[in-house]
Amino acid sequence: MFTLITLPFAPDALQPVISADTIAFHHGKHLQTYVNNLNATLPGSGFEDLPLEEIVKKAEGGIFNNAGQILNHNLYFQALRAPQADNRPTGKIAQAIEAQFGSFEAFQKEFTQKGTTLFGSGWVWLSADAEGKLVITQEQNAQNPVTRGLRPLLTFDVWEHAYYVDYQNRRADHLAAIWQLINWEVVNQRL
């Protein structure tokens, strides 16, 4: 059985970028529902004893959708922290971004643009391939880069429940602000 992750920050710690109300709905309601739904569908599925990432790689339908949303949200929430002005990557992720994209600003522009232009609901991801090359992907609905053999490093949730309370339909404004919240130490650990 899977459980709701404990947030690595207080519910109001991300303000003013993400409100405590959004966290209450996003983590406490949406993510909890995915956990409940997955636990209800696992018995007899053959996936009962698999780790979450393996379920995402192998499952289809409702089991995949709920497992994918849990994995995606866990990776998302674990890489957030209280806002920091001029929050920039450090360490090996900074070096990899510089080498791959030329500058943090060029990477940030491309990543934000991919998140802004993703049609409908989904996620924008920074991942590493088997050779360590960085890849930005747009993933619809519950998709995750692990299904393509990539290692997820960073994600922004572009489902409306991630930003609508605070930004209404202004996804681009939300994506521009969320850079203040990225915990680059976590991203470095994933690299």
Structure tokens at 111: 């990543």
How far apart CA 21 and CA 82 sit, in angstroms, is 16
Equal CATH topology for 20-78 and 91-190: no
Q: What is the dotted CATH code of the domain comprising 20-78?
A: 1.10.287.990
Q: What sign does the CA torsion over 57, 141, 150, 81 have? A: negative
Q: What whole-number percentage of the chain has pLDDT above 90? A: 86
Domain 91-190 has CATH 2.40.50.140: no
pLDDT tens, residue by residue, 137-161:
999 999 999 999 999 999 999 977 7
Least confident of 24-38, 45-59, 123-137, 161-175: 161-175
The CA-atom distances, in angstroms, between 34 and each of 10, 13, 19, 83, 173 are: 21, 24, 21, 27, 27
162 pLDDT band (50/70/90 cuts)? confident
Question: Would you list the domain boundaries of the chain?
Answer: 20-78, 91-190
Q: Which residues pair with 151 in a beta bridge?
A: 128
pTM tops 0.85, yes or no: yes
Least confident of 49-63, 111-125, 148-162, 163-177: 163-177
Q: What is the arithmetic mean of pLDDT over 8-18?
A: 95
